[in-house]
């Protein structure tokens, strides 16, 4: 029997893929590296990190401070740094961790991904991840999936039904594959909601997140003049219509809508507080140097009272259209044979 664990369950490590001069970070590499270092140092207070990098010796120089938990250094080539989407997706099969490795095609053929697509199988071959491995056979990214750990998946139609991902499959067929491979009872589809500047075709982890089996945090826009207003109002209505496995409405937690962030060319960037990362004992929350940052931290503290809430300045991350959750992938307990 298969089960897709929730992110708040015990973890063995978090993977990051470090930026380098051949990635899209090249023009602002010196600015983004400190952000990655901050994320890694925050995680290693609570659990180990798997660090995939083009050159281990170069990256090690950024980490002189001692860590409570270890960093596992892995030298592998990469196109970019979005571990959420090229990282392995772990389920439990009869309580045994199983790494599912789906095709990553650069969010529907938007960007090169040939090197990133090979990383998970290389981690398995190098014995960093458990040898229980299965190729998923379809195009699918971790940022598109939200699990309550009890058989419910939350996702978006915009992403999973993108014509450049699995054009040969219908919605019914994709849902059947997900149910079989992830051990799901049901899939909740959002058909509304987006973020300007988002390259992922509306990944769920930028819009709405399970916090508990009965609680969903989501981005809410109250400004009728904002371009997102109508779509996010419709998304909120969809969330209100969903029911838990027990038939009850979900407890919905509205996250603040940050002031707009823009790049140098005047393009809006996808700043979202929904892109937080749940780790052992803590919640890492992206902040953007705007006045709503503290409110977001306070709201999530109420949602996760038993965990430390740590804000990390991710303003530079959204320059490449992703945030904190996007650059990380957690592996649940048992997924690393050394832990």
Catalytic residue annotation: 326
Numbers of helices and strands, H then E, in the chain: 9, 17
Please choose, from the candidates 195, 176, 173, the residue with its C-alpha nearest in 3D space to the C-alpha of residue 186. Answer: 176
What is the torsion angle, in degrees rounded to the nearest 10, for the CA atoms of residue 46, residue 50, residue 55 and residue 58? 10
Q: Percentages helix, strand, coil for the chain, rounded to the nearest 5?
A: 30, 25, 45
Instruction: Report in angstroms the alpha-carbon separations of 32 from 118, 200, 210.
Output: 24, 20, 28
**CB-CB contact of 329 with 83 (8 Å):** yes
Beta-carbon neighbour count of residue 70 at 10 Å?
14
**CB-CB contact of 54 with 19 (8 Å):** no
**CB-CB contact of 144 with 156 (8 Å):** yes
- The tokens of 257 are what? 């809508």
- The tokens of 307 are what? 């965990």
**CB-CB contact of 153 with 122 (8 Å):** no
Which stretches does DSSP call E strand in the chain?
A: 2-3, 11-17, 49-53, 71-75, 89-93, 96-103, 133-139, 146-147, 152-156, 186-190, 208-212, 215-219, 251-255, 277-279, 282-287, 308-313, 329-332
Beta-carbon neighbour count of residue 262 at 10 Å?
10
N-to-C CA span, the chain: 23
What is the torsion angle, in degrees rounded to the nearest 10, for the CA atoms of residue 163, residue 164, residue 166 and residue 168? 60
């Amino acid at each position: 029997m298969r089960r897709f664990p929730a992110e708040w369950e015990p973890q063995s490590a978090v993977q990051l893929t470090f930026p380098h001069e051949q990635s899209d970070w090249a023009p602002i590499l010196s600015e983004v590296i400190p952000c990655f270092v901050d994320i890694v140092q925050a995680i290693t207070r609570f659990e180990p990190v798997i660090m995939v990098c083009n050159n281990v010796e170069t990256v090690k120089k950024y980490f002189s401070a001692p860590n409570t938990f270890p960093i596992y250094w892995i030298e592998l080539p990469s196109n970019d740094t979005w571990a959420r989407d090229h990282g392995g997706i772990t389920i439990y099969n009869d309580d045994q961790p199983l790494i599912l490795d789906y095709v990553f095609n650069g969010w529907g053929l938007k960007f090169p991904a040939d090197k990133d697509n090979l990383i998970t199988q290389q981690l398995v071959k190098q014995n960093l991840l458990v040898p229980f491995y299965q190729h998923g056979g379809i195009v699918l990214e971790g940022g598109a999936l939200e699990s309550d750990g009890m058989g419910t998946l939350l996702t978006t139609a915009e992403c999973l039904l993108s014509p450049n991902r699995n054009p040969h499959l219908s919605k019914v067929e994709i849902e059947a594959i997900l149910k079989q491979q992830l051990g799901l009872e049901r899939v909740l589809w959002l058909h509304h909601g987006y973020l300007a500047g988002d390259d992922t075709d509306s990944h769920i982890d930028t819009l709405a997140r399970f916090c508990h089996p009965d609680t969903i945090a989501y981005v809410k826009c109250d400004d009728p003049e904002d371009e997102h207003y109508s779509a996010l109002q419709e998304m909120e209505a969809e969330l209100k219509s969903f029911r838990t496995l027990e038939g009850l409405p979900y407890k919905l937690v509205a996250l603040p809508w940050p002031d707009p962030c823009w790049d140098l060319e005047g393009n809006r960037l996808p700043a979202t507080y929904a892109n937080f990362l749940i780790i052992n004992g803590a919640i890492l929350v992206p902040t953007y140097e705007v006045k709503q940052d503290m409110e977001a931290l306070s709201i999530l503290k109420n949602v996760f009272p038993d965990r430390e809430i740590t804000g990390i300045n991710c303003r530079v991350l959204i320059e490449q259209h992703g945030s904190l959750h996007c650059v990380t992938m957690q592996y649940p307990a048992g997924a690393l044979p050394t832990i």
